[in-house]
A and B are shown apart, each in its own frame.
Chain A
């Protein structure tokens, strides 16, 4: 099922990521069973579902870190086989290089031969400004709070200017207040960079706060259950009737109780 609606995005949308009949199993569990959907260029897509529904596997397949057993993942119509600089990834547990400073982490991708920025130092400074880490350029990850670590993770992924940003429950381990702030910052960044974002979460509120589209997955086997278009003005009010209504619809769709933030 190709699920796409043009109504939610004002940008001209064409398919950026296409997932076709992807299946993947690990030993006895079927993480993904015949999963298909697509994400339009410039779209913010959230994938929600209970743990074990294969959402991380799906993200890793798009990143090229994990090969599906069958089916294919296409980016711009080309099958994905390896990781590439066109797809940046933000990890749940940050995955910062602990021996590199904030600056060194952000710079990591720029120093690979693949990238040719005219002035890498200026680019790093720009990114540090973008994620609000001025003054922490020379701090090591161990000196940072969870929210700050994830800011570094985002800046590091953005450094090589990927067309697609893949985010695996990036704000799962930060406190609720920090998460709210990171949400609005992420939307600001996304508005500026016009990237295509695939954002994994198990938190329905988070998905409705951020996404143009929410893909709802079911576990065991991991399948796409339905897709919702979120046509609400940003920034979104969690208390607005439309917001509450959408969250309720998605929760009904998921059936079993799924953890949400209060």
Chain B
């Protein structure tokens, strides 16, 4: 049978290495231009704290890793000494990670349930319409009165942010499951609703669920910094703290630290996503 030729790939991209190199160099050029503009801006602005220069900021960034700070690990209560930058990053992660994971878990759970169960959808849709537009940071007042503005309060705000993004990812994913696939599954012996959810709806919705989660990784970094501006410990708090001392170069160093942390998580998750969704 000669069908094997049917799958022969037509994707032979000529000169893709040169294309990559060109894109790489252009990107580098853009960064350099930005650095020069920043440097000139810093040189010509007085007083100097208004725009800290790239060199001062780089020095402040290095300082984050040459000094060390002791932090308290929540729940365990033990104290931990780390390079200052990592110490404050760890403080942020102490509420970022639980907030993100719990929010994503609950959001995906409710999204799947509502997308799959029409009655539940009827019950909750109006409520979702009302609650969904509230910006997560607006909940900060309740975070403060319920939990106090510390790790738990900040985690709560991150939870709210992660919840909705993941909710919509899962909800849309399950709603979009093709009826052809569920029909095929029922002719192949899938009888119970729960089996259909597990065997067809979930894998079929996986791409949207994962996209929702990846979006929430970034959104929660914005939210977490917002929450820390109100006083929860972590990198966001350090940005404010440094600026109160007019150490704007340290603020910039923390801003880049956040950017770096987000980049690492995003790239890591994309790799994972690519492996899980190899079938796409």
Determine if B183 and A91 form an interchain contact, defined as CB atoms under 8 angstroms apart.
yes
CB within 8 A of B184: which of A64, A89, A132, A145? A89
Interface positions, chain A 147-164, Cβ under 8 Å from B, are 147-148, 156-157, 160
Q: Which residue of B lies closest to A181 (CB)?
A: B1
Evaluate whether A95 and B184 lie within 8 angstroms (CB atoms) in the complex, with A112-B189, A142-B279, A142-B280 already known: yes
- Min distance, Cβ A87 to any Cβ of chain B, angstroms: 7
- Chain B residues lying within 8 Å of A65, measured Cβ to Cβ, are 183, 186-187
CB within 8 A of B187: which of A89, A93, A98, A136? A89
Chain-A contact segment, one of B12-20, B198-206, B266-274: B198-206
Interface positions, chain B 1-58, Cβ under 8 Å from A, are 1, 3-4, 6-7
- The CA of A63 and the CA of B179, in the complex, are separated in Å by 14
Q: How many residue pairs at the A-B interface have CB separations less than 8 Å?
A: 87
- Chain B residues lying within 8 Å of A139, measured Cβ to Cβ, are 7
- The CA of A169 and the CA of B180, in the complex, are separated in Å by 14
Q: Which residue of A lies closest to B178 (CB)?
A: A95
Evaluate whether A97 and B189 lie within 8 angstroms (CB atoms) in the complex, with A89-B183, A91-B184 already known: no
Secondary structure call for the B interface: helix
15 residue pairs from A and B, CB less than 8 Å apart? A82-B186, A82-B191, A83-B187, A97-B181, A99-B203, A108-B185, A112-B189, A114-B189, A135-B4, A143-B7, A144-B7, A148-B6, A156-B184, A160-B188, A160-B189
Which positions in B face A, CB cutoff 8 Å? Answer: 1, 3-4, 6-7, 178, 180-181, 183-191, 199-200, 203-204, 206, 278-280
Which positions in A face B, CB cutoff 8 Å? Answer: 60, 63-65, 82-85, 87-89, 91, 93, 95-101, 108-109, 112-115, 132-133, 135-136, 139-145, 147-148, 156-157, 160
